[in-house]
Structure 1
Amino acid sequence: MTRTPLLRQVPALHYQRRQAVARWLRDGHPVQLGRAPRQGRYISFHAQGRQGLWQGLIDSDQWLQAIWPQWSQLLGRSFVENNLFELFSLLQRPLQLPPQVLDYQHLFDVQSVDGAALEAADLPCIQTALGPCWVLGLPTDIAWQPQPLQPWTRCLQQTLRVVLGETALSPLQLRRLAEGDVLMIAEQTCQLWLAGRRIGQFTFIEEGLQMELTPEEVTSDLAECALSPLPVTLQFVLAELTLSMAQLNDFIEHQVLPLDAQALQQVEVRVGEQCIAVGELVRLDEQLGLELREVFRGPGNE
């Protein structure tokens, strides 16, 4: 039986909220991660927007004070409490959200929520002109804007495969191959492959190979070059052990290799031989993952 080490559990919902805030901040939007105060009353609602369905929460007193500062002088609190949600539902745009962060076409399922009943969890909080808006449920189809290549990524190396062509053989023909046989190239493709994708073709010239790149069309204006969408293979290195040839020669099945006590907190992420990040091995739901502690972006590119 394979034994999995005891790992710190990362709740999937908390991870999604934290990642959403990090991406919004990266794009320069006024969003933070925090807890809604447990005092007072809130308006809870569901919203349908271009990015899908999401759920929000606003402080009812702050919202009313922002849209109607004179309400306390003109109306009693009991009247406001009885009609607040009707007012919220009747307004065409009761919320003023940055459209690059979240949007909505209509709101529904508007309810009153006591602050004491709120979950004790950090939530994405969007600062608006009508007070903070906490996001209880992220949009179902949220899509993040792709970012241009950062300078440090240009140092990462990829392996270019130059493929002459292809030939199909039956299993019997494969078994009969022997030294001195000449394998004919049935189909000369002359293709260039990078990161598991065909990026172009080549022709032979006197100086060597002349490349003609024919990558997939890049639809994003943020892409700095045609090759930027190509994937990069990451390796997760748990440990590196220096062993002698005698130790390698003595390897047997089920042998136990020593592992440093801090190895699970210092797993390296590598591209080729280059370490680009270090993190802690965690469990996200039922999957193993790496919570990054350091990302090495190179000097001046934090």
Structure 2
Amino acid sequence: MKSILAVRNVATPDYERRHAVARWQRDGHSVRLRQLEPQTRYITFWAQGSQGLWQGMVGAQDWLQAVWPQWSELLPQKCASKDILELFSAVDRPLDIAPDLLDYQRLFDFELDHGESLQQAYLPCVSTALSDLWVIGVPSHREQVSRPLQAWLQAVPQTLRIVLGTSELGQLPCSQLMLGDVLFIAAQTRQLFMADRCIGQFTFIEEGLHMQLTPPDSAVPAVPCVLSQLPVKLEFVLGELTLTMAQLNDFIELQVLPLETVTASRVEVRAGGKRIAIGELVQLDDRLGVELHEIFRGVGDE
């Protein structure tokens, strides 16, 4: 694949920052990617929160002017940054951030920095009630929030498998099966499966099957199964060829299929056979992935 397709490398820090900005913007927060301001002295720090560690920085003078505007006029200019750093590290809650965006229990490892190594990078810039907060490293993990399914996702098909029961292979005389033989169901489980997960059980009634969407092994039987959390299998389609049965019949080992029109920038992402996105094949560290460029959220998008 590498000899045919030019796969673009994506730096992990850049990807994590862009992904975090998109997620925060979707949740209604004022965040955007920006470059650091030249000739500005920054206070850098590490933060420990419920989502893990993250690293940030604020402009020293901007923070002081927002918190104590009268103090900023009294501090000597040549030692202002050092004094501001001491003030910042001494305050219990020096930053006012929405808890669902970036929370923290404590800040540590305070330093002064001109940000020369990050001048060319685009960092998430969070507008807070006091001053702009630049995020160097996003939280090490994020909380998974259950969201209602969007309308376009509700049309993605899933297969419901209705299983009467099971028997062990050793109990079935497979090598001697004949027409008219009866295979017995050793354990009648009457389970419902979707996305290879048991989502409940069923019973026979006069009208058909009565379904109870509660996993039988659930520790809390009263809690219903959340179908929206079931996984959906994605397919990444590089291209399609229309071949005759005769051509398929002539396939031989090591044969090369002609894919002249295939490009790494037009990979289709499908769910349940339905196209949901188009993206570019990229290399992220040692893994191949598809960076989404178009997302189809409804019939009109296609």
Residues 215 and 227, structure 1, Cα contact 8 Å, conserved in 2: no
**Counterparts in 2 of 1:3 and 1:173: CA distance versus 1, 3 Å:** farther
**Counterparts in 2 of 1:53 and 1:5: CA distance versus 1, 3 Å:** same
Residues 215 and 226, structure 1, Cα contact 8 Å, conserved in 2: no
**Cα distance, 1:7 vs structure 2:** 1.0
Q: Equivalences for 1:67-216 in 2 at 5 Å?
A: 67-170=67-170, 173-215=173-215
Percentage of pairs with the same residue: 54
Aligned to 2:235: 235
Aligned to 1:286: 286
**Cα distance, 1:119 vs structure 2:** 4.9
- One-letter amino acid matched to 2:20: A
| TM-score normalised to structure 1 length | 0.89
**Counterparts in 2 of 1:110 and 1:287: CA distance versus 1, 3 Å:** same
Aligned to 1:30: 30
d(CA) in 1 for partners of 2:191, 2:239: 37
**Counterparts in 2 of 1:171 and 1:36: CA distance versus 1, 3 Å:** farther
**Cα distance, 1:203 vs structure 2:** 2.3
Residues 265 and 279, structure 2, Cα contact 8 Å, conserved in 1: yes
CA RMSD in angstroms comes to 2.7
| TM-score normalised to structure 2 length | 0.89
d(CA) in 2 for partners of 1:114, 1:176: 80
**Cα distance, 1:127 vs structure 2:** 0.6
Provide the secondary structure at the position in 2 that maps to 1:43.
strand
**Cα distance, 1:175 vs structure 2:** 3.0
**Cα distance, 1:26 vs structure 2:** 0.7
**Cα distance, 1:2 vs structure 2:** 9.5
Residues 163 and 191, structure 1, Cα contact 8 Å, conserved in 2: yes
Provide the secondary structure at the position in 2 that maps to 1:228.
helix
Deviations 1:118-175 (A, max 9, x none): 3521111111122211111112232243321111111111111111110102299433
Deviations 1:161-203 (A, max 9, x none): 1111101022994333344432111111111111111112222
Provide the secondary structure at the position in 1 that maps to 2:83.
helix
Residue ranges of structure 2 left out of the alignment (5+ in a row): none
d(CA) in 1 for partners of 2:118, 2:263: 38
**Counterparts in 2 of 1:214 and 1:61: CA distance versus 1, 3 Å:** same
Aligned to 1:273: 273
**Cα distance, 1:21 vs structure 2:** 0.9
**Cα distance, 1:240 vs structure 2:** 1.3
**Cα distance, 1:81 vs structure 2:** 3.1
**Counterparts in 2 of 1:4 and 1:162: CA distance versus 1, 3 Å:** farther
- One-letter amino acid matched to 1:242: T
- One-letter amino acid matched to 2:240: E
Aligned to 2:10: 10
- Of 46-55 and 166-175, deviating more is 166-175
d(CA) in 1 for partners of 2:95, 2:141: 21
d(CA) in 2 for partners of 1:12, 1:258: 33
Provide the secondary structure at the position in 2 that maps to 1:191.
strand
Residues 42 and 59, structure 1, Cα contact 8 Å, conserved in 2: yes
d(CA) in 1 for partners of 2:2, 2:252: 17
- One-letter amino acid matched to 1:150: Q
d(CA) in 2 for partners of 1:180, 1:213: 36
- One-letter amino acid matched to 2:70: Q
Provide the secondary structure at the position in 1 that maps to 2:229.
coil
**Cα distance, 1:4 vs structure 2:** 8.0
Deviations 1:18-75 (A, max 9, x none): 1111111111111111211232211111112222221111111111111222345423
Q: Which runs of 4+ in 1 moved over 4 A?
A: 1-5
**Counterparts in 2 of 1:228 and 1:81: CA distance versus 1, 3 Å:** closer
Provide the secondary structure at the position in 1 that maps to 2:84.
helix
Provide the secondary structure at the position in 2 that maps to 1:75.
coil
d(CA) in 2 for partners of 1:194, 1:236: 21
Residues 81 and 112, structure 2, Cα contact 8 Å, conserved in 1: no
Residues matched between the structures, number = 297
- One-letter amino acid matched to 2:131: G
